[in-house]
Amino acid sequence: MIAHRMSKLDSSGIRKVFDLAQKMQNPVNLSIGQPDFDIPEEIKTEAIKAVHDGMNKYTITQGIPELRTVLQKRLQKDRGVDAESIMITSGVSGALTLAFMVLLNPGDEVLIPDPSFVSYKHLTNFCSGKSVFVDTYPDFKLTAERIQPYITEKTKVLVINSPANPTGVMCNTRDIKEIAELSKKHNLIVISDEIYHNYDYGHEFDSIGRYYEKTLIVDGFSKCFAMTGWRMGFAAGPGEIIREMIKLQQYTFVCAPSFAQYAISRSPEVDLTERIASYRRKRDLLYNGLKDTYQMVKPEGAFYIFPQVPWGTDEEFVSAAIQKNLLIIPGNVFSERNTHFRISYAAKEETIQQGVAILNNLASQLG
């Protein structure tokens, strides 16, 4: 009864933990990548005004012109990217879904960092492509040197996520330029997931879209503006790809939420300096609390850290943590290995301190 393509998808391990959290009494929740602050007031004000002004109907499929214009100008100003075309999507997940569906033929190979965000491999499988995992252990750095051995005549797409989920590791400008050169040599299409670009604690973020024209940038507002429920994203890049994504959006998502498009387009640029500084402090609080007990790489961006389990497998260790009322994510959700686990420090400092205490206690156990 169910289509065969669905057998290629597993339920997200993140969602499983999210569902579990709803059933637990006051868990110490360091599992979900959802900012712990609220949407900026100026954006909420514009959203309410948009609703009251009747901006509640369909928009054109590619998104309202004023928002697309604002975003193209910001890409040029902030990232040095001159995007040929741009569209508004239902979150970055919507952008990724459309992109994979319009780009992949059966058997096309997609280079995916290991570890990386869970959707990349599942969307590849759903589109009958082949996921090829680029090993980035132990420091999680994606480099041209590491990518090169995995390229074949069937390689079509390379996925980059910097700052990265689940590791918080970033590609520096040298890495980005070398990956751009490699991609040009092999005529690859690069999908650059830049949803965490604001969370850049060393001010080192650089977009490969600045250096390579066959780059499709996907980005959104869920993480920077804490509007995860509004489902607002965008895709920017080659006109040929964006045109096909717009065509497919007509028959799937139709358009991104109308009131949210108007709210973001009419809001002044929001200063995130204080919030990013807060997350840098949380990063340091978590890292300094665990560094003497766990093997891990200090995150340079995003709001995740990916420690190695001190004993057992990732699922065994995470199960023990859940018994202590701590919610974290097993690493095999993001990786072909079962040796690490993900912590999200998008939480209150008190919650982070509670999590550190539980994890340090767990590390002393024999499993």
From 237, 266, 295, give the residue that closes a domain: 266
Would you say residue 180 lies in a domain?
A: yes
Let me know whether 313 and 293 are in one domain. yes
Question: In this structure, is residue 46 part of a structural domain?
Answer: no
48 inside domain: no
Same domain for 81 and 177, yes or no, is yes
312: CATH = 3.90.1150.10
- Say whether both 82 and 129 belong to one domain: yes
Residue 282 lies in a domain: yes
- Number of domains composing the chain: 2
- Same domain? For 223 and 306 the reply is no
What is the helix (H) or strand (E) element at residue 273, kind and residue range?
A: helix 273-290
| 331: CB partners within 8 A, 6+ apart | 115, 166, 306, 309, 314, 337, 338, 339, 340, 341, 342
Separation in Å, CA 9 to CA 122, 256, 279: 6, 25, 33
- Co-location of 326 and 245 in the same domain: no
Read off the tokens for 279: 């997350």
pLDDT tens, residue order, the chain (367 aa): 888 888 777 765 555 665 665 677 789 999 988 898 899 999 999 999 999 999 999 999 999 999 999 999 999 999 999 999 999 999 999 999 999 999 999 999 999 999 999 999 999 999 999 999 999 999 999 999 999 999 999 999 999 999 999 999 999 999 999 999 999 999 999 999 999 999 999 988 999 999 999 999 999 999 998 889 999 999 999 999 999 999 999 999 999 999 999 999 988 788 889 999 999 999 999 999 999 999 999 999 999 999 999 999 999 999 999 999 999 999 999 999 999 999 999 999 999 999 999 999 999 876 5
CB atoms within 10 A of CB 243: 14
Domain that holds residue 108: 54-266
Q: Are 220 and 313 contained in the same domain?
A: no
The residue type found at 58 is Y
Cα–Cα nearest to 281, from 13, 27, 36, 10: 36
Q: What is the pLDDT of residue 21?
A: 59
Task: Fill in the amino acid letter for 28.
Answer: V
The verdict on residue 219 lying in a domain is yes
Strands 189-193, 215-220: parallel, antiparallel or unpaired by DSSP? parallel
For residues 220 and 194, give the distance between their C-alpha atoms in angstroms, rounded to a whole number. Answer: 8
- Distance between CA atoms of residues 261 and 250, nearest Å: 17
* Co-location of 181 and 237 in the same domain: yes
What CATH number does residue 83 fall under? Answer: 3.40.640.10
Q: Cα–Cα distance between 299 and 204 in angstroms, integer?
A: 12
Tell me the per-residue pLDDT of 288-328, one tens digit each, with 9 for 90 and over. 999 999 999 999 999 999 999 999 999 999 999 999 999 99
Instruction: Please indicate, yes or no, whether residues 167 and 277 belong to a single structural domain of this protein.
Output: no
Choose the final residue of a domain: 204, 233, 266: 266
Would residue 276 count as lying in a domain?
yes
Are residues 30 and 63 part of one domain? no
207 and 285 fall within a common domain: no
CB 282 within 8 A of CB 349: yes
* DSSP string for residues in 6-62: GGG----HHHHHHHHHHHSSS-EE------SSPPPHHHHHHHHHHHHTT--S---TT
Among residues 220, 243, 266, the one where a domain terminates is 266
Domain assignment present for 61: yes
Query: Does residue 44 fall inside a structural domain?
Result: no
67 and 118, same domain (yes or no): yes
Burial of residue 81, with CB atoms counted within 10 A of its CB: 0-12 exposed, 13-18 middle, 19 or more buried = buried
Same domain assignment for residues 34 and 182? no
Position 314 scores a pLDDT of: 95
Distances 326 to 166, 323, 344 between C-alpha atoms, Å: 18, 7, 12
**CA separation for the pair 347, 321 (Å, rounded):** 17
